[in-house]
Structure 1
Amino acid sequence: MVPRPALLVVDKPVGPTSHDVVNLVRRGTHIRKAGHTGTLDPSASGVLVVLLGGATRLAEYLLESDKEYEAVVRFGQSTSTYDAAGPITASGPVAFTGDALVRALASFEGESLQTPPAYSAVKIEGRKAYELARKGEVVDLEPRMIRIYGIELLGWEAPQAHIRVRCSRGTYLRSLARDLGERLGSPAHLEALRRLRLGPFTIDQAIALDELRARFTPPTWPSIALPATAVLQGWQVLELNPEQIAQVQRGMAIEAADAQGRAQAINSDGELVAIVQADGEGRHWLPRKVLTET
């Protein structure tokens, strides 16, 4: 039996878009309401979380989460897209040492301003930047504050560096590759990218796309679906009785003795019913998101 609302943690391969994966899940599960959190480019692989049914309302909480990647940076060449998909825009020597590379990587740790790639989904006056870039229009994106929690050199064999990065939302590894090259005096681009973690979900939990496809017929996929509460790990839990559930579903507040912060409200079966927020006096829980199945 599938938990409702639910989610699937997929190991997206190189090739399909994130939207392709969502469409596959919609067809296979026969659940029309589905969406992913955190786009992976076609050239990237790794953790893609697909939310099903009412769980789609939790997307913002995953988008807040930090992420972890392994990447290959290729020095000596830069491209228009900052990855291997675009044409080469500049070539140059790879004249730095491994020690210089380690120091340069460490310099990116902490908060900094980063400019997203022109070929990205960042919107400019309602239009995606990559749509403008493909038409040859000048794309001028504002730098954004990001945070690199940790960056590690896993391997170095010129002209390629294999790195692991833990970072905040909004961080573009393509921009990091370009900026790393500039700091070392060598043009660079992102050659490969694999997401190892998105919030609480890791690559060890992810199911390969071919295996997931095989589970649609006969339908054994529910056995690997996770409950929506998995998104909210670490949150306080509030179990509601049937009367309280009815109140929340009508948008009514629930009386409380000492409500603080926000909580996941569940039913007696442990299924997520709503996200609730304490009022200013701590006397009531106020429904903020009520999850319903469609």
Structure 2
Amino acid sequence: MDGILNINKPVGLTSHDVVARVRRLLRQQRVGHAGTLDPLASGVLPVCVGLATRVADYLSESGKAYQAEIVLGVETDTYDREGQVLNTQPVPDVSREQIESLLRTFIGPQLQVPPPYSAIKLQGEPAYRRARAGESLKLEARPVVIERLVLLAWEKPRLQLEIECSKGTYIRSLAHDLGQRLGCGAYLSALLRTRSGPLTLQESITLEQLDEALASGNLERYLLPLDIALQHYPALVVDAKTLQRVLHGNSFRAPGPESESLTFAPAPGRGKDGPHPGEQPQLARVCDEQGRTWALAVWKPEQRLWQPMRVFGPERGS
């Protein structure tokens, strides 16, 4: 059983809880999620099964989208409603236009400091574990891109936002930073992920629907092919002989990135012309003549060859 499930995670469960539930339902051990959602968050959680666990890292390359509610005037240690209150301040009288003007300053490439209570590893240990032990943490800022930031509603002290951003963006940090800029503090009170890469909330299913699909023998209706995680990469269509080289991990010749037959869709923050030389590796999916994806390859400019870096066969079968 190989594929991707677009699960609508409910509030209250951790991402690991969802994976454990799917493991039990499917009786599969190779199950993992792509892009962690905190327990207070709900919405799209991609769950990869079998061989699809190999593409989990690529599922959110084309970015994510959220709807968020932020409360002004209160600062917590976790940057969300579950944390301990550190400070309260009066909320200034700001108009909708003033908030929209402030939001525009957050759009584009930037460096963002993750929350101390996050899953980022420090010397092999999650930051949240060290923070819970009372350690004062200062995490390094990381490059992120906020592509779209729309004010949906503003009624003091709450505002609702619609956000499109690169993977790695912390909405809790965005809430915290907004509060800092307004001088009153803020925390994230609710979060709904409406898109993760190609997966949308409208097409997601609940754990209950997954259970029903299994009981009725309709699981295939919801199990998406692993290829969907790689569709934002250009396709290298190869013949059967070349495909055998690929499946054994050998480099091969095919049109390079400068070829007019390939179109590199830029990931968020990489510019209109895609990744610049020396900044990001240029990747392409390797497909057979029927259009099925068998590997992900990286361009080696010195040798002018493609090198398989992630192979999904031959165990995919015929």
Q: TM-score of the superposition, structure 1-length normalised?
A: 0.90
Deviation at 1:225, TM superposition (A): 1.2
Once the two structures are superposed, the pairs formed by residues 104-183 of structure 1 within 5 Å of their partners are: 104-183=102-181
CA deviation after TM superposition for structure 1 residue 111, in Å: 2.3
**Matched pairs, number:** 290
Query: What's 1:262 paired with?
Result: 283
**Separation of aligned partners in 1, 2:283 and 2:135:** 44
Counterpart of 2:140 in structure 1: which amino acid? E
Aligned AA for 2:245? Q
Verify the 8 A CA contact 1:47 1:198 in the aligned structure 2.
yes
Q: What are the Cα deviations for residues 260-284 of structure 1, in whole angstroms up to 9, with x where unaligned?
A: 3533223455442111234437875
Contact 2:72 2:187 in 1 (8 A): yes
Indicate yes or no: 2:41 matched with 1:20: no
Larger CA deviation: 51-60 vs 130-139: 51-60
Which segment drifts farther, 84-93 or 235-244?
Answer: 235-244
Counterpart position of 1:227 = 225
1:16 match: secondary structure: coil
Preserved CA contact (<8 Å) 1:71 1:162? yes
| Amino acid aligned to 1:196 | T
In 2, distance between residues paired with 1:45 and 1:103?
28
Share of identical aligned residues, percent? 41
Contact 1:101–1:184 (CA under 8 A) maintained in structure 2: no
Q: Compute the displacement of 1:245 (Å).
A: 3.5
For the residues of structure 1 that align with 2:153 and 2:304, how far apart are their CA atoms? 55
Distance in structure 2 (CA, Å) of the matches to 1:53 and 1:178: 38
Bigger relative contact order (CA 8 A; separation at least 6): 1
Superposed displacement of residue 188, structure 1: 1.0
Q: Distance in 2 between matches of 1:81 and 1:102?
A: 25
Which amino acid letter does the alignment assign opposite residue 168 of structure 2?
Answer: G
Instruction: Give the C-alpha shift of residue 255 in structure 1.
Output: 4.2
Tell me, yes or no, if structure 1 residue 186 matches structure 2 residue 207. Answer: no
Is this contact kept in 1: 2:62–2:232, CA < 8 A?
Answer: no
Query: What SS class does the counterpart of residue 21 from structure 1 fall into?
Result: helix
For residue 214 of structure 1, what is the aligned residue in structure 2?
212
Offset, 1:30: 2.8
Say if 1:5 and 1:272, in contact at 8 Å, map to a contact too. Answer: no
What is the CA deviation profile of residues 151-203 of structure 1, one whole-angstrom value per residue up to 9, with x for unaligned ones? 11000111110111111222111111111111112121000001111122211
In the TM superposition, residue 248 of structure 1 has moved relative to its aligned partner by 2.1
- 1:230 aligned counterpart, secondary structure: helix
Gaps of 5+ in 2: 258-281
After superposition, the Cα gap between the structure-2 partners of 1:254 and 1:172, relative to the gap in structure 1 and judged at 3 Å, is same
What letter corresponds to residue 274 of structure 1 in structure 2? A
Is 1:52 the counterpart of 2:49? The answer is yes
Give the Cα–Cα distance (whole angstroms) in 2 for the partners of residues 278 and 95 of structure 1. Answer: 53
> Structure 2 vs 1, CA of residues 212 and 249 (structure 1 numbering), >3 Å: closer, same or farther?
same
Q: How many Å separate the matches in 1 of 2:174 and 2:138?
A: 17
Give the residue type in structure 2 aligned to 1:50.
Answer: V
